[in-house]
Structure 1
């Protein structure tokens, strides 16, 4: 797959660069450039990111960072079985448990919420940092909802992190998940309150909390650009005297018959004149 010339491979994290040092220099550079493309495209073009991850995987399948990148690319394209296999491989190589929450979420994606709940109770969870534990809580609540256990999902999300006033990287998503669970349980007023709190914390637009809040408030967004374009077209038609086909009056039945007769008569007159010329020649 083509890679832009401005991508050198030096853009990758230094820890990943150290992992690639076990490869020959040219190969390491090729793998690094493909990993940069995976990172660049993961959010906006998951399929493209997946393609680059497969190239990196063919080049260096024994590098943990490559397996992890391939896992996230597969996860982004909802290839959950493939993603889970790559995450497991990366975990075996490094012994790192940071991928535990996303591995549990892959189990959900594969239709196995009970397995995700089993992972939520595993000893590995206690080894996660704060961000990882919040992520695991989100996955657990999702698994509860998969099983139709809405009240349990709500209780799962009720935590010190949810109640905290300080805004952390996970705050918007945690508040959003809580609001969504409340709404699913029919608790609309509480859901509106927490969607509003999610909007306050969502500084980088990682959720659509503002849209959900507007929907609850009955606000409809109008595409101003589309309206301006329609107005411009109408003004152009007016200025040029053009009447849209849809606005053209349909002739009355009697008028339609008259027009048709006139056309027929005109044709007959032309034919008669031609015949007259032929008679004159004879």
Structure 2
């Protein structure tokens, strides 16, 4: 653990969830989660080790189980990712990682279960970025089953607007283009590929900016109503991203001050 990593490197809303721990334990957990966020793109395996270390100290905290699920997904351990994200959902009552759950079901070869999982979510209660990510994941599950037309239909959502650009627009436009290519509709696909490129340029995003998204998944950043929004027709040199809004900590059962064994990792917890 680098000495320059401090609990303050973790977003405030995430640190709030650790207040049920002893001060010393909360600081160590926060440092491990901050390292997981820092490393998840460049070294997913090491990021996962930090998330595991946090889970051994605070296995009942929602942000810890969420981070463990995300890092497991990043390393390709889809069974563990699914288990941890289910546990995160049960503890937090949130469905904001539903897209990763759908993709994890796909990763272990259960596209039918992936579709069931996605359909069970109430999309009206999801934030826009999560709803878009779910649409892309559901489209992928349709492709897994050879249902290309239905895969296209999954992407026909209000957010598929070629004239507006948000953080999630390049991914949505690109997914739409890929399905159109599979259908042999090359002219339409070319249009959406161009729209995806223009949207990325307008938002100042590039190939190296995926970490922003992953950090948001781990640290609870980028709430729905504060996404970057820019007209696709014109480039923006410095898009302004609003500061994340702190959320109150979940009321969780008080965690013992001593370090506990990693029962959460060794004993799967399934939803009822």
- TM-score band by shorter chain is 0.7 to 0.9
Conserved 8 A contact 1:100-1:124:
no
User: Does the residue aligned with 1:161 lie in a helix, a strand or coil?
Assistant: coil
- Distance, in Å, in 1 between the alignment partners of 2:162 and 2:177 is 15
Once residues 88 and 44 of structure 1 are traced to their aligned partners in structure 2, the CA distance between those partners, rounded to angstroms, is 26
The structure-2 alpha-carbon separation of the partners of 1:205 and 1:24, relative to structure 1 and needing over 3 Å to count, comes to same
Residue among 10, 17, 20 paired with 1:19: 17
Query: Does structure 1 conserve the Cα–Cα contact (< 8 Å) formed by 2:111 and 2:141?
Result: yes
Helix, strand or coil at the partner of 1:163: coil
Report the secondary structure of 2:51's partner residue.
helix
| CA RMSD, 1 decimal | 1.7
- For structure 2, list consecutive stretches of 5 or more residues without a partner in the other structure: 210-272
C-alpha deviation, 1:163, in angstroms: 2.5
1:136 corresponds to which residue? 134
The structure 2 residue matched to 1:190, chosen from 188, 212, 225, is 188
Does residue 204 (structure 1) correspond to residue 205 (structure 2)? The answer is: yes
Give matches, 1:1-282, under 5 Å. 3-202=1-200, 203-206=204-207
TM-score, normalised to structure 1, is: 0.70
Q: How far apart, in 1, do the equivalents of 2:59 and 2:158 lie?
A: 40
Quickly say closer, same or farther: Cα 1:161–1:139, change in 2 above 3 A.
Answer: same
Contact 2:148-2:179 within 8 A present in 1 as well: yes
Q: Is the 8 A contact 1:116 1:143 kept in 2?
A: yes
- Matched residue, 2:253: none
Q: 1:100–1:125: 8 Å Cα contact kept in structure 2? A: no
Shift of 1:188: 2.1
**Corresponding residue SS for 1:121:** helix
* Contact 2:85-2:101 within 8 A present in 1 as well: yes
After TM superposition, the runs of 4+ consecutive aligned structure 1 residues lying more than 6 A away are none
Contiguous gaps of at least 5 residues in structure 1: 209-282
Structure 1 or 2: more helix by fraction: 1
8 Å contact kept, 1:38–1:52: yes
Cα separation, 2, equivalents of 1:123 and 1:178: 22
Higher RCO (Cα < 8 Å, 6 or more apart): 2
Aligned residues: 206
SS in 2 for 1:167: strand
Question: Offset at 1:206?
Answer: 4.6
Give me the TM-score of the superposition, normalised by structure 2: 0.72
> Which structure: larger Rg?
1
